[in-house]
Structure 1
Amino acid sequence: MKIETEIAREPTQELVDAFARLLPQLSRTASPLDAEAVGRILSSDANTVLVARADGRIAGTLTLVTFPLPSGLRARIEDVVVDESARGHGIAALLMQEALKIARDAGARTIDLTSRPDRAAANRLYERLGFRVRGSSVYRMPLDH
């Protein structure tokens, strides 16, 4: 299996279709994305959307978010998902390594991510790549729309 990563730059139908296939594998509550929504995500200066292709087909995505703070440039990895049919081939690791390189090259001081405890394989990958559990609490407040 030939695997390549690239930065998504245009909200193509192929990318919209890939998100339609991949997002439900990441979150049961994620809303479907149309081309306009994908375009907004790609056009944000804070976002770098990486895609991994396995034999030419989009098999995974990752969003790197970088943002300046008074304490320095920070980065977060969000929404890492690899198609169930393509797991076990190192796709997530390649996406992560590319995101780490981009963040480092941009001058980010740190890079964070969150992961549910039940995602054992993902958590092992993150630890293998050098991420460490942080002594911090994560708070979330739902905002009703």
Structure 2
Amino acid sequence: MSQIDIFEAKSSTPEYVAAVNRLLKQLCSSPCEMSAERLQRIVEEHNSRLLLLAVDGEVMGMCTLGFYTSPTGCKAWMEDLVVDETCRGMHLGERLFNFAADFAEHEGYDTLMLTSRPARVAANRMYQKLGLGRKETNVCLKVKSPSQPSPSGRA
């Protein structure tokens, strides 16, 4: 039986960077790569948590939690939930989701939200099985062009 551990990344290590990039290739439909610097930024920010799932010591899944408070409540967003394709069907996505949901609740957040592309059929089936409801909304997106400087000086 495999040893499953889920934990918060507290530092940027070459192992974590490699694992995150391997998982991003499986998650993203367009090329996406994370640097050691960006991973370090995530682990240093108080409103972001990178949760990693390890199978027998090897990182095989991840998700990110982002936290904020608004006039309508304390909210957490879950992003980039992915389990390595070699481990799918082992219910690790459910375990990672439940760990993240419990983590957010323990931190005092009363609403957990996520988005999932319709093409991610298995993931959407899992979310329904876990009791997540759908929110009728439009998601609008504005992405900074590479030539625009960031107002905060962040990359």
Tell me the TM-score range normalised by the shorter chain. over 0.9
Q: Which letter maps to 1:59?
A: M
Structural RMSD (CA): 1.3
Deviation at 1:30, TM superposition (A): 4.5
CA distance in 1, matches of 2:118, 2:15: 32
Q: Secondary structure at the match of 2:112?
A: strand
Aligned to 1:81: 82
1:128 corresponds to which residue?
A: 129
State the identity as a percent. 35
2:117 matched residue in structure 1: 116
Is 1:71 aligned to residue 76 of structure 2? no
Specify the code of the residue in structure 2 equivalent to 1:33. M
The number of residue pairs the alignment matches comes to 145
Amino acid paired to 1:109: D
Q: Which amino acid aligns with 1:92?
A: G
Q: Tell me which amino acid in the other structure corresponds to 1:137.
A: N
CA distance in 2 between partners of 1:94 and 1:120 (Å) = 18
1:24 is matched with 25
Q: How far apart are residue 31 of structure 1 and its match?
A: 3.1
Pairing 1:5-84 to 2, within 5 Å after superposition? 5-84=6-85
TM-score by length of 2: 0.88
**CA 111–28 in structure 1, closer or farther in 2 if over 3 Å, else same:** same
Which consecutive unaligned segments of at least 5 residues does structure 1 have? none
Following the alignment from structure 2 to structure 1, what is the Cα–Cα distance between the partners of residues 51 and 58?
Answer: 13
CA distance in 1, matches of 2:29, 2:70: 32
Runs of 4+ off more than 6 Å: none
SS at match of 2:60: strand
User: Which residue pairs with 2:153 in the alignment?
Assistant: none
Q: Deviations over 1:73-98 (max 9, x none)?
A: 10110001111111111111111101
CA deviation map 1:84-139 (0-9, x unaligned): 11111111111110111011112212110000111111011111112111111111
- Distance in 2 separating the partners of 1:56 and 1:106: 26
Name the SS of the counterpart of 2:98 in structure 1. helix
Structure 2: how far apart are the matches of 1:105 and 1:30?
34
For the pair shown, which has the larger CA radius of gyration, 1 or 2? 2
Structure 2 spans left out of the alignment, 5+ residues: 147-155
Q: TM-score, normalised by structure 1?
A: 0.93
Query: Which position in structure 1 is the counterpart of 2:141?
Result: 140
For 1:119 and 1:32, how far apart are their aligned partners in 2? 20
Tell me the secondary structure at the aligned position of residue 32 of structure 1.
Answer: coil
